[in-house]
Amino acid sequence: MAIGLWVALCGLGLLAVAATYLAYCKDIDAIRAKVRAGGRLAQTSAGLIEYASDEHVSDRLGPPALIIHGASGGYDQGISIGKQNFGDAFQIVAPSRFGYLRTPLPRDGSPAAQADAHAALLDCLNLDRVVALGFSMGARSAVELALRHPHRVSALILESPIAYAPSDGPKIDYPGSRRLIRLVTNGADFIYWLLLRIAPNFVIRLSGMRPELVARATEIERDKVMAVIRGVQPLSLRLAGVSNDLASLIAPWPLDKIAAPTFIVAAADDLFNTLPAARYAAAGIFRATLLGLDSGGHLFVGRHDEIRAKLAAFLKKAGVMEQAT
């Protein structure tokens, strides 16, 4: 009797595992197909670059905006960040950085080389000047673009910047990050997919936010956060870029050489500790505007409307656009 019950329980367990894995296969196939379909490939002077663009917005109110995604992102994260900040007021151009999705990782994957690749993409798209927005790890190549190609940047925006601070820098090697990368290295997209379902608080923390902050947010805000977190799938297609980002040294810049009007925002409760770097950058860049938030985490939970309004006011004052909404 005991043996029969044990066999039955094992059988039910195997069925549950099989059903879960089949659900994963269906989801990940759909995700891969969506990611492949959404981006375009441009052959630039800096090599092959994947990007997406809002070229259908013909009556935009402002100039093009180059949106530079963070770690575990890609062109898809860039489009999402661009819409969140600008709506349809700008033409969004969102590249996949080195090692992300279909953009290859070259021998030199430094932020400076990435900035040159951004400029090469702008050449390919016949765009002279852009508002450059760098989110998280993307802030580094955004700053390099403003330094190396100042004539291409009409305004610089840094959000939750993973950047240099002299004494209290970003904590990019957050507990669990290396372990997750090892899992994905071994083909464990399934692990991340499963964690989203059985341990979402772990993934929320890994994304730079306290789970209680997300739990207190409105349903709309929670949906925004979880959409970004789910949007890093499949991680295996972004692994080379993540590894490159983590291996790249965070060094100081000659911030006083940045001529573009600059807007910087970070939150005090960002688990990646980006506010000290934001303050340091704002102090070093001539007449930079700093928005230091007391809460919101790495993804600015519950603060998007406030950020968008203050960013629009900044762009108007800077003369980048006649009207920002």
State the burial class of residue 146 (Cβ atoms within 10 Å of its Cβ: 0-12, 13-18, 19+): buried
Residues whose CB falls within 8 Å of the CB of residue 139, separated by 6 or more in sequence, listed in order: 68, 158, 159, 160, 161, 162, 163
| pLDDT at 204 exceeding the cut of 60 | yes
- DSSP type of residue 203: H
Is residue 40 assigned to a domain?
yes
Domain contains 4 = no
Residue range 143-149: mean pLDDT, rounded: 98
Q: Please give the Cα distance from 249 to 301 (Å, whole number).
A: 28
Q: How far is CA 214 from the centre of its chain?
A: 18
Range in 10-19, 167-176, 186-195, 243-252 the model is least confident about: 10-19
Q: Length of the chain in residues, anyone?
A: 325
Whether 7 maps to a domain, the answer reads no
Cβ burial, residue 88 (10 Å; 0-12/13-18/19+): middle
For the chain, what percent of residues have pLDDT higher than 70? 86
**Within a domain: residue 170?**
yes
**What's the whole-number mean pLDDT along residues 138-148?**
98
Confidence of residue 97 (pLDDT cuts 50, 70, 90): very high
Q: What percent of the chain has pLDDT over 90?
A: 62
pLDDT over 80 at 10, yes or no: no
**Structure token digits, residue 255:** 């911030």
Helix (H, G, I), strand (E, B) or coil at 135: strand
- Compare 50 and 175 and report the one with higher pLDDT: 50
Mean pLDDT confidence for 76-83: 94
CB 160 within 8 A of CB 274: yes
**Distance (Å, whole) CA 121 – CA 51:** 9
Structural domain contains residue 137: yes
Closest CA to 135 of 42, 48, 245: 245
Question: CA 70, CA 68: separation in Å to the nearest integer?
Answer: 7
Residue 306 lies inside a defined structural domain of this protein: yes
Judge contact between 166 and 98, C-beta under 8 A: no
Q: Which residue has the higher pLDDT, 195 or 104?
A: 104
Rounded mean pLDDT, 288-310: 95
Q: Are 49 and 76 in contact (CB under 8 A)?
A: no
Residue where the block lists tokens 């402002």: 62
Note the pLDDT of residue 171: 76
Q: What is the pLDDT of residues 216-245, one digit of tens each?
A: 999 988 888 888 898 999 988 998 999 899
**Count: domains in the chain:** 1
At residue 75, does pLDDT exceed 60? yes
pLDDT at 304 over 80: yes
Considering the domain boundaries, does residue 6 fall inside one? Answer: no
What average pLDDT score do residues 2-24 get? Answer: 66
Q: Which residues of 148-174 are buried (b: 16+ CB within 10 A; e: fewer)?
A: bbeebbbbbbbbbbbbbbeeebbebeb
Domain span including residue 184:
19-325
Residue 249 has pLDDT above 60, yes or no: yes
The most confident of the ranges 21-30, 243-252, 289-298 is 289-298
Q: Is residue 12 part of a domain?
A: no
Is residue 60's pLDDT more than 80?
no
Q: How confident is the model at residue 322 (pLDDT cuts 50, 70, 90)?
A: low
Q: Which residues of 48-81 are buried (b: 16+ CB within 10 A; e: fewer)?
A: ebbbbbbeeeeebebbbbbbbbbbbbbbbbbbbb
Q: Are 161 and 169 in contact (CB under 8 A)?
A: no
Q: Is a pLDDT exceeding 90 seen at residue 254?
A: yes
Q: Kindly report the average pLDDT of the chain as a whole number.
A: 88
3-state secondary structure 204-258: HHHCCCCHHHHHHCCHHHHHHHHHHHHCCCCHHHCHHHHHHHHHCCCCCCCHHHC
Mean pLDDT of 204-226: 91
Global pTM reads: 0.91
Question: pLDDT confidence of 7, banded at 50, 70, 90?
Answer: low
Q: What is the CATH classification number for the domain harbouring 265?
A: 3.40.50.1820
Retrieve residue 325's tokens: 């909404």
In this predicted structure, what is the pLDDT of residue 57? Answer: 46
For residue 173, what pLDDT band results from cuts at 50, 70 and 90?
A: low
Rounded mean pLDDT of 193-219? 90
